Amino acid sequence: MNEHVIEKLKWAVRNVPDFPKPGIIFKDITPILSDPLLFELAVECFVEKNKALSPDKICAIEARGFIFGSAVAYVLGIGLIPIRKKGKLPFKTHQVAYDLEYGQAEIEMHVDAISEGESVVLIDDLLATGGTAAAASQLISKAGGKLLQTQFLIELSFLKGRENKLAGIPVHSFIHL
């Protein structure tokens, strides 16, 4: 995707101070989602990147990853695998626990979501510390999938999630803040 498109998307990201707690500046993508042209451009970034990779399926992390992941899977004509918080999926699951800044969380994926050796791309809206994406990559591995790449619309580079939690995992982000 060209730099002009990335700049348009970057300028549409809204900063919301002190959300969800004091001292955090939340990166709000809803202005991108509410503008049909910007939303199309964002989805097209992911689609173009994934055409070259040819994954069998897209894995998407709850909840904003679902927005982009489902659109990309639809355009590419491949399956979508939801990765959700513990207790949200109705069938047997693989689970992975991981550390948050303020405690622990657990995510899960259906045990039959990926067949042994299937190639997948993991999509989410934002890479911060990388904990959730690292846990999701563990789920993909546990299921026998081959993770081609993790992809994010936005990366908060100063938090070093790519270097810390996702070291050794291919990462691509479109917007770096």
d(CA 143, CA 115): 7
Contact of 123 with 72, CB cutoff 8 Å: yes
β-bridge pairing 119-127 and 57-61: parallel
> Which region, left, alpha or beta, applies to residue 116 given φ > 0 means left and ψ of -120 to 50 means alpha?
beta
Task: Return the HEC string of 85-103.
Answer: ECCCCCCCEEEEEEEECCE
**Which residues are tagged catalytic?**
64, 101
Where do we find the tokens 């173009």?
Answer: 48
**Taking each helix axis from N to C terminus, what angle separates 36-53 and 3-12, rounded to the nearest 10 degrees?**
130
Contact of 89 with 111, CB cutoff 8 Å: no
User: Which of 176, 161, 149 lies closest to 6, judged by CA?
Assistant: 176
